[in-house]
Structure 1
Amino acid sequence: MDRSQKAESVASLNAVFNEVGLVVVTRNLGMSVGQSTALRSKMSEAGASYKVAKNRLAKLALKDTQYEGLEVHLTGPTALAWSIDPIAAAKAAVDFAKTNDKLEIVGGAMGSTQLNADGIKALASMPSLDELRAKIVGLVNAPATKVVQLVNAPAAKLARVFGAYGAKDAA
């Protein structure tokens, strides 16, 4: 990688750090190409990205961003996962780490809030933004459904009573 490619890599990573909601630092301990490809596809399905970057270049890219505190985690064979959704990258990384012992969660940050490995795992256990939206829609729809059921209930009871009287008269 020549100097211009390094500068381009630092600039693109810096742009990413300025617009994402969460960055997770992982340590890959001898993952194969197939495992790395599976992780990348899992990340993209979740709406996140995963990149192995040189630690020195990543530290340069972190300068003047809210994620500057992540420099302490960038030692050894590390990789970065990020997403705009504050939960997607954490959830995908933790799910993959559960099934693959060669991926270790080191830490991360959500904005200027630094998180250790346990913080990332706790964040991954929270529902995603889409799941929360679905719950809210369900809660909003529930009262309307109950109102309709209450309005229809007396009519149904009357129909049953009339049906019972009709059956009694016929017998």
Structure 2
Amino acid sequence: MGMANDAKKQIVAELAEKIKASQAVIMVDYKGLSAVEADQLRKQTREAGVDYFVAKNRLFKLALKEAGIEADFEEELNGTTAFALGEDPVSPAKVIYEFGKTKGDFFNIKAGLVEGKKADVATIEALAKLPSREQLLSMVLNGMLGPVRKLAYAFNAIADTKEA
């Protein structure tokens, strides 16, 4: 009995570390997902830099407590639950949301944890619809380069008129 208990404590400690290192935790009901679909989801999450796994609800509750999370997930952590964790809040939400759109009623977001606070399904879906970090950076850079481009065009136009 002692070995099993030590193993569970180790799992809880590892889960708590993952939770602490993550900006977002998405909880998903994956019941009805085929093995092939589960493999596809794992591949997509891996490519997006998201940690996706299944853990026992009871152990995850203990890990939340150990990580210092006070939000109550008693209702959400029932039945089949998978977890998607990410270093930024958008990536896990986006991957899970996009995957879930094609899977109908049997693959549903239950709830989430964003920057240490409980998030409902609507919040997670809103996060999923945000542009990616790269897209946001591109938009900011484009905004910054706009005035510089206009200035360059103005200088070129002045130089062209003087040459003519």
CA 1:46–1:70: 2 relative to 1, 3 Å: farther
1:18-65 residue CA offsets vs partner (Å, 9 max, x unmatched): 111001110012211111111111111111111100011111111143
User: Which residue of structure 2 lines up, in the alignment, with residue 25 of structure 1?
Assistant: 27
User: Which residue of structure 2 lines up, in the alignment, with residue 83 of structure 1?
Assistant: 86
In the alignment, residue 86 of structure 1 is paired with which amino acid?
P
- Structure 2 CA distance for aligned equivalents of residues 79 and 44 of structure 1: 14
Instruction: Tell me the CA shift for residue 143 of structure 1.
Output: 1.5
1:59-96 residue CA offsets vs partner (Å, 9 max, x unmatched): 11111435442522101111111101110000000000
TM-score by structure 2 length? 0.89
- Structure 2 CA distance for aligned equivalents of residues 113 and 157 of structure 1: 60
In the alignment, residue 106 of structure 1 is paired with which amino acid?
K
1:149 aligned to 139, 150, 153, which one?
A: 153
1:137 aligned to 138, 141, 160, which one?
A: 141
- Structure 1 CA distance for aligned equivalents of residues 39 and 63 of structure 2: 24
The aligned length equals 160
- Structure 2 CA distance for aligned equivalents of residues 92 and 3 of structure 1: 34
Identity of aligned residues (%): 32
- Structure 2 CA distance for aligned equivalents of residues 42 and 137 of structure 1: 28
Q: Counterparts of 1:1-171 in structure 2 under 5 Å? A: 2-69=4-71, 71-72=73-74, 73-101=76-104, 102-158=106-162, 162=164
User: CA-atom RMSD, angstroms?
Assistant: 1.8
Q: Which has the higher contact order (CA 8 A, sep 6+)?
A: 2
Q: If you compute each CA radius of gyration, which structure gives the higher value, 1 or 2?
A: 1
**Which stretch shifts more, 11-20 or 149-158?**
149-158
Structure 1 unmatched runs, 5+: 163-171
- Structure 2 CA distance for aligned equivalents of residues 148 and 78 of structure 1: 55
TM-score by structure 1 length? 0.86
Moved beyond 3 Å, runs of 4+: none
- Structure 2 CA distance for aligned equivalents of residues 64 and 51 of structure 1: 19
- Structure 1 CA distance for aligned equivalents of residues 29 and 64 of structure 2: 18
Task: Note if contact 1:66-1:111 (Cα within 8 Å) is conserved in structure 2.
Answer: no
Task: Note if contact 2:23-2:116 (Cα within 8 Å) is conserved in structure 1.
Answer: no
